[in-house]
Amino acid sequence: MAKRTPRQKGDPRMPGESVEQKKARAKRLIRGLRKLYADADCALQHRSALELLVATILSAQCTDERVNQVTPKLFAKYEDAHAYADADPDELEELIRTTGFFRNKARSILGLGRALVEDHAGEVPREMEDLVRLPGVGRKTANVLRGTWFGLPGITVDTHVKRLAGRMGLTGETDPVKIEFALQKVFPEKDWTFTSHALIWHGRRVCNARRPECDRCALRPDCPFPDG
């Protein structure tokens, strides 16, 4: 009798599911998500790559709704990277205060503006290796920008995607970067960006953290939670 591989903690994978079966299930999940959220997209309001980048930095530990309330005045005052680079820290902090952790975010945005001016002629780069070198930008923020603005495939792992990836038994990883790479192996590349947005929408509307509404979830047939 073959020795069973022990489950990783928090990994509710389907019993005996092969890699190919998991990929097939992932495709069914995508079909379900497209029926539920055909228009799934980034909820952060923006008109340029820079605006999206700044909004995503502000969204850390903050709701998109709150960020969208703050950014109109922010974007009107700072129209390009040079404006952020030369911004008065106190004025910038005051404008973003209600997003939380405003001092850290202000430092990141000031540093972002300076880095864009000094290293990229004021333009936002599109390559991952360039983006993650910018202050306040990690892989999650970079994937938001690459997928939403530049149309490049990328999986954004925020708290919702992290939670759903585990509940759906798609990966037992808990580190966001490892989750990103694990999901890349499961979902077709062409669906990466949409799947990220749709999982976020589903996490907010149905599969929430405290009381997931499994009884009304259209994805339930392909999800092992909570039985897994």
Q: Please calculate the CA angle 92-95-96 and round it to the nearest 5 degrees.
A: 90
* Cα–Cα distance for residue pair 43/71, rounded to 1 Å: 13
Q: Which pairs with CB-CB distance under 8 Å and at least 24 residues apart come from 64-71?
A: 66/98, 66/99, 67/99, 68/43, 68/44, 69/98, 70/95, 70/96, 70/98, 70/99, 71/44, 71/45, 71/46
Q: What are the catalytic residues?
A: 140, 158
Where are the alpha helices (H) located in 97-191, listed in sequence order? 102-120, 128-131, 139-148, 159-167, 176-186
Phi, psi of 19 (to 5 degrees): -60, -45
- In 21-175, the DSSP E strands lie at none
Unique residue bearing structure tokens 């509940």 = 167
Give the pair of three-digit tokens for residue 23: 């990929």
> In angstroms, rounded to a whole number, what is the distance separating the alpha carbons of residues 105 and 97?
9
Instruction: Please give the DSSP secondary-structure letter assigned to residue 107.
Output: H
